[in-house]
């Protein structure tokens, strides 16, 4: 390169610290995919032979469905932390009312007691629910209805807990 005097000047090359959208996308994909897919295809072909292609097509369809769901959720809730708000969007105000009510109580009183107490209580209640429903599952004798019985128990206890917590909001 020549400068205005006609003499060559040496400029040291500098790295530009900048990453664009494409670079971020590729970095994310590399982190997600890694090299595991190479081993997965090897093992799939060893087990299923040429039929392994079918499993990759099914996996591709499922991944595409998830991508579309996340894109839709991102478009529906265009704000930071949107995926954390999905339960509120999916379940309506009932999904987040308890936490919000406890936070408002803390703000009104100037003390942070309600939220930690609620979270501790919910943690203990969840342990009780899970252990109780596991017990209920044992009464099925290991039959095919065991999973359904455990799930039904959890749903019923959770509904009862929601009704119980609604009393504090009214």
Q: How confident is the model at residue 2 (pLDDT cuts 50, 70, 90)?
A: very low
Q: How confident is the model at residue 61 (pLDDT cuts 50, 70, 90)?
A: very high
Using an 8 Å Cβ cutoff, are 151 and 137 in contact? no
Using an 8 Å Cβ cutoff, are 114 and 103 in contact? yes
Pairwise CA distance, residues 100 & 116, whole Å: 12
Using an 8 Å Cβ cutoff, are 165 and 98 in contact? yes
Pairwise CA distance, residues 29 & 63, whole Å: 13
Per DSSP, 162 falls in state H
Mean pLDDT value of segment 130-141 = 90
> Is the confidence at residue 133, as pLDDT, over 60?
yes
> Is the confidence at residue 3, as pLDDT, over 50?
no
């Amino acid at each position: 390169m020549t400068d205005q005097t006609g003499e060559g000047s040496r400029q040291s090359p500098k790295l530009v610290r900048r990453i664009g959208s494409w670079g971020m996308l590729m970095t994310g994909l590399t982190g997600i995919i890694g090299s595991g897919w190479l081993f997965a295809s090897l093992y799939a072909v060893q087990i299923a032979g040429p039929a392994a292609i079918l499993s990759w097509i099914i996996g591709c369809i499922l991944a595409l469905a998830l991508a579309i769901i996340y894109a839709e959720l991102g478009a529906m809730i265009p704000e930071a932390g949107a995926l954390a708000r999905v339960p509120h969007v999916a379940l309506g105000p009932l999904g987040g009312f308890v936490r919000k009510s406890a936070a408002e109580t803390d703000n009104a009183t100037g003390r942070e007691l309600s939220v930690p107490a609620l979270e501790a209580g919910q943690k203990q209640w969840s342990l009780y629910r899970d252990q109780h429903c596991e017990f209920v599952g044992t009464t099925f004798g290991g039959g095919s209805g065991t999973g359904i019985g455990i799930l039904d128990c959890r749903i019923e206890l959770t509904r009862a807990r929601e009704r119980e917590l609604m009393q504090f909001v009214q």
